[in-house]
Chains A and B, each alone.
Chain A
Amino acid sequence: MRFPSRKVFMKDWMVTSLFLLLSLVLVGYFVYVCIGWNVIVSLSDWKGLTPSYNIAGFDQYLSLFHDQVFLTSLKNNLILILLFVPGSLFLGLFLAILLDLKVRGEGAFRSIYLLPFALSFVITATLWAWMYNLDVGVINTLLEKIGLGFLRPMWVADPNIAMYCVVLALIWQFSGYTMLIFLGGIRSIPESQIRAAEVDGASGFDLYRYVVIPQLKAPALSAFIVLMVFALKAFDFIYILTGGGPGWSTYVLALMMFKETFRKNQFAYGGAIATILFLLALVIVVPYLYLSFRREKE
């Protein structure tokens, strides 16, 4: 390969930067400057609707860790990460494999599974509120019909299990999306490999266990990142379904940030929560960026 001459290189560079300039400026301001501004707000003593940039240090962060609501919210975000993310991944993978078994009417099933993801969170949250209804909700009615009426869980009305009800509903909503990603991944595996494995005697579970699933790393990783980020920024679904209740039992960081900032006018405190959310997101996204960067180099 011949290296481009200096002149050609300069030309390329100038054209590229011209095109990049606009988006760099916009993203720079609306993303990076705003993140920096938020960090400054979180270190200030801003309370009420009058901006104040007197640096008060890490006071807000210190009081956060003594705030029971914050700890509950953090715990609930962790529950989302630990249950909702793997739950959606496994259910999605399971559905994708089922669909891959050349069932009849695959297209119809695919749409049915994907439909929840296409609906707005406001709609699905309202729907789940009805389903979780203790008296007339479809879940308790079904339980009664099959003779398990004595169970009659309180669902979202019980602070001890409310968060798990939220997780269940979110898994339902997101599994269609992960299914689609996994199905795409399965379909991109060359037919010849499957055939070869079959000739070697692999079938059923083994075929998926040793041939298909190992090749789904890339789609799994991208679905994982989307789910993780959602687990951190979850807001609308929970806001509508439980509003963080009963009590504080289903509060998550985004919900708490909204309440502190816009209902209680504690801008510095809200900023501190936002900064912590941002750091958590970084912890997830940076390794992903590093991984995909390394893969690109390979």
Chain B
Amino acid sequence: MNKTVLYVAVAVIITALICSATVWYVMRPAPADVLEIYHWWTSGGEKDAIDALVDVFADDYPDTGVIQSPVAGGAGYVMKAVMKSLVLAGEAPDAFQMHAGYEGQPYFEGKYLEPISDLWQEEGWKPVIPDVVEDMVKFDGEYYAVPVNIHRVNVVWYNKHVLDDNGVDPATLTTWDAFFDACDTLVTAGIAHPIALGDIGKWTDTHVLEQIIAGEGIDFYEDWVNGQVTSATDPKLVSALNTFATYLGYVNVDHVTLTWDEAIARVITGDAAFSVMGDWANGEFYKAGKVYDTDYGTIPTPGTGVMYGLCIDCFQHPKGVKHPENSLRWLKVVGSKEGQDAFNPIKGSISARTDSDTTKYGPYQAAAIADFTAATYMYPSVAHGSGAPEAFTAELDDIMSAFVTDKDVSAAASALTAATNAASDDYIKVWDLD
């Protein structure tokens, strides 16, 4: 064989060796004592919150390094896709953020999660965590996750100055009729669009519908999330959609080109009086230097006064992770009073535990904690992945996005019930909300 060929062959082999060595070095198994977690908390305040939780973990387990792998992208839509690919590939991290409830279903059904009922028992979480919240991390009677926070979804944010100037008492807005009367008053006073909505991501439409459905009564909501609302002529479903259609009559016409926080900004400036949004909106008022109960305030969405709508993030214990022990340690910290009270005051949510230290929380959150402990009913949010199967929720977003443009009640009702029927196999949970 010619010498040149030999040299080239040797060169290629050496190059290949160097390359593989580099690749191995970069991708080698991490040193033994680390914890790797994935989450989508990337914005300023959110990042501080998860850092505070990680600090609690670091205090308890100083020898363990924590690798945070944040994936940016609104409300986790990007990370949810990334996570499914990673888990499918057998590369699940030691724990990852997900919404409680049905978002865990594909992982549970694929047997990617380890039950952690023993951990719940040992840590004594059951007595301090409300039943519905517990139910949201259970499948087939076993616990599979630990909630880290609770956001309330059924909140109307209002500009206090605007309401005071026009003689509207927010405490009286307990029914949609009263609410729309107040809107009429504001329209007469020159506020053309008293309700602010920004639905560029579609889910905000679903979010509003969900609160209106809860306003039809907890029994109806329970039927809805249990997949029992299958008739397009169901009077309560039609009534809810009609309420939403009326609601849209008071909404800014440019909602399709706004994000939810741009809608909140209109309430802050007083261009609008109300906006229905989860209580992560509180951060927007805080950033704008507004004072709770002086500049702005909150009421439960009409008809849901005794209810607390739940949007919950949680972590779990995936099967076959690289550091199973650290994964369980992390869950212990996540569920602990200390961990929850470090994370939630910064995140803007409240602790999933009923024994949290209220002194650590801001004025809005203190009020929310009072409502949470006093709530008669709690319900899992559909818009935020918990209440209904993903196959249904994904369709719901599109159906609502069409509805806010055409306000066609019967078309939306048929599409909604058709989506429920199409996903009927996926309704594996039986919610007991009353």
Contact = CB atoms under 8 A, between A and B. Distances in A.
Interface of A: 7, 11, 14-15, 18-19, 22, 48-51, 69, 129-130, 132-137, 155-159, 242-248, 258-259, 262-266
A262 B103 CA distance: 12
Given A50-B109, A134-B253, A136-B254, A243 B5 contact: no
A243 B405 CA distance: 14
A157 B256 contact: yes
Nearest to A134: B254
B398 interface: yes
Interface in B177-212: 200-202
B394 A14 contact: no
B84 A135 contact: no
10 contacts: A7-B2, A11-B2, A49-B109, A69-B398, A158-B405, A243-B201, A244-B202, A244-B398, A246-B401, A247-B399
Interface in B383-408: 390-391, 393-395, 398-399, 401-406
B254 A133 contact: yes
B80 interface: yes
Contacts of B110: 48-50
B12 A19 contact: yes
A130 B406 CA distance: 22
A245 B84 CA distance: 25
Top 7 closest pairs, chain A to chain B, by CB = A247-B402, A49-B110, A262-B81, A157-B256, A245-B401, A246-B405, A263-B394
Given A130-B257, A135-B254, A262 B80 contact: yes
B402 A159 contact: yes
A133 B200 CA distance: 11
B119 interface: no
A155 B405 CA distance: 12
Contacts of B399: 247
A129 B257 contact: yes
B106 A49 contact: yes
A241 B252 CA distance: 18
B-side interface mostly = helix
Contacts of A259: 394
B112 A49 contact: yes
B16 interface: yes
Nearest to B193: A135
Given A18-B9, A49-B109, A133-B254, A243 B394 contact: no
Given A49-B107, A159-B402, A262-B81, A11 B5 contact: yes
Contact of B390 (A18, A244, A264): A264
A51 B254 contact: no
A44 B301 CA distance: 45
A57 B66 CA distance: 46
Contacts of A244: 202, 398, 401
Contacts of A135: 252-254
A14 B8 CA distance: 10
Nearest to A12: B5
A157 B253 CA distance: 9
Given A11-B5, A265-B391, A248 B398 contact: yes
B123 to A, nearest CB: 28
Given A11-B2, A11-B4, A49-B84, A248 B394 contact: no
Contact of A245 (B107, B109, B402): B402
B402 A246 contact: yes
Contacts of B107: 49
Contacts of A132: 257
